[in-house]
Amino acid sequence: MALFSKIFSKLRSGGASAADWDELERALIEADLGATFTAAIIKEAKSLPREGAEEQLIHILKNRLSSAPRLLAHEESRTTTIIVVGVNGTGKTTSVAKLMAKLHSEKNLVVVGAADTFRAAAIEQIQTWGSRIGVEVIAGRAEGDPAAVAFDSAKQALALGANFLIIDTAGRLHTKSGLMDELGKIRRVIEKSTPVDEVLLVVDATTGQNGIAQAKLFSESVAVTGLILTKMDGSAKGGIALAIEAETGIPVKFIGVGESAADIKEFEPESYIHGLIS
């Protein structure tokens, strides 16, 4: 990505012109950093002394990242519960499959709740992943009550002494309040049996500024603890991770880099920021 490398070489070799700064501004906006954030960063970058400008910019950008915990919650003494939320098509179910595969391969007992009950196909999709990976999926009937599925899943996870319970949810944004009420209800029924440790919001990185709007919308209504940024293997411009963290304060915990179960990576802020700069 190396968005800033050109401006730094200009600065080192005598100075950057107004056109150079304009070019940087366009590059940052194209990389999905957003107009407001871009303007603020350019202003700060312009005021940096030439000596050590790169190190200082790295420091400034790192300060814009979220300071909330980035590692996935993991309670040693009880079931760790994760609810996965987000709008339709962002990659929720695929991300649940990736997480179950990862946690299962790390020798955890995992139970998954198929609380997207809108379509039979959605239930089958997660059941197929479950049987492929070897993880128990608790499902109800199509068009049934998602909260009831969440409740049954929590009961089963506790009965088995599972290390992780992961709940897949529906994302049809028919009305904002409808979906948010449903997510609130899912959370409350689980909390009748066990605490909810993570609410992970799945955002499709290829949707750019729209993804940032979704993150704001969800985080206003549900206590989102982390993000999964999917489709980072596609045409995503990469700047979105920084923009979304700067604007919402929510940490990116994982990135999705493909459609198979192994295509998930922990987000590494250090190498990410270095990648933006040099």
Closest distance between Mg ion and the C-beta of residue 96, in Å?
A: 8
Residues in contact with ligand GDP, shown as a per-residue x/- string from 198 to 227 under the rule CB under 6 A: ----x-------------------------
What are the two backbone dihedrals, phi and then psi, of residue 253, each rounded to the nearest 5 degrees? -95, -35
Of residues 91-150, which lie at the interface with Mg ion (CB under 5 A)? 92-93
If one asks whether residue 89 binds ligand GDP (CB under 6 A), the answer comes out as yes
Closest distance between ligand GDP and the C-beta of residue 64, in Å?
A: 24
27 vs 85, beta carbon nearer ligand GDP: 85
Q: Which does 230 bind (CB under 5 to 8 A by kind): ligand GDP, Mg ion, none?
A: ligand GDP
User: Judged by CB under 6 A, which stretch of 54-62, 85-93, 217-225, 238-246 contacts ligand GDP?
Assistant: 85-93
Judge contact between 135 and 261, C-beta under 8 A.
Answer: no
Q: Which does 102 bind (CB under 5 to 8 A by kind): ligand GDP, Mg ion, none?
A: none
Angle at 16 (CA atoms; ends 13, 20), nearest 5 degrees: 125
171 vs 239, beta carbon nearer ligand GDP: 171
91 vs 226, beta carbon nearer ligand GDP: 91
User: Judged by CB under 5 A, which stretch of 16-24, 70-78, 86-94, 236-244 contacts Mg ion?
Assistant: 86-94
If one asks whether residue 233 binds ligand GDP (CB under 6 A), the answer comes out as yes
Closest distance between ligand GDP and the C-beta of residue 133, in Å?
A: 15
> Under rule CB under 6 A, how many of the chain's residues touch ligand GDP?
19
Edge-to-edge strands of the sheet including 198-204? 136-139, 110-115, 164-169, 80-85, 198-204, 226-230, 252-256, 264-266
Of residues 90-119, which lie at the interface with ligand GDP (CB under 6 A)? 90-94
User: Judged by CB under 6 A, which stretch of 5-13, 107-115, 141-149, 254-262 contacts ligand GDP?
Assistant: 254-262
User: Judged by CB under 6 A, which stretch of 9-17, 51-59, 175-183, 231-239 contacts ligand GDP?
Assistant: 231-239
As beta bridge partners, residue 204 has: 230
Closest distance between ligand GDP and the C-beta of residue 181, in Å?
A: 19
Residues near ligand GDP, by CB under 6 A: 86, 88-94, 171, 202, 230-231, 233-234, 256-259, 263
Residues near Mg ion, by CB under 5 A: 92-93
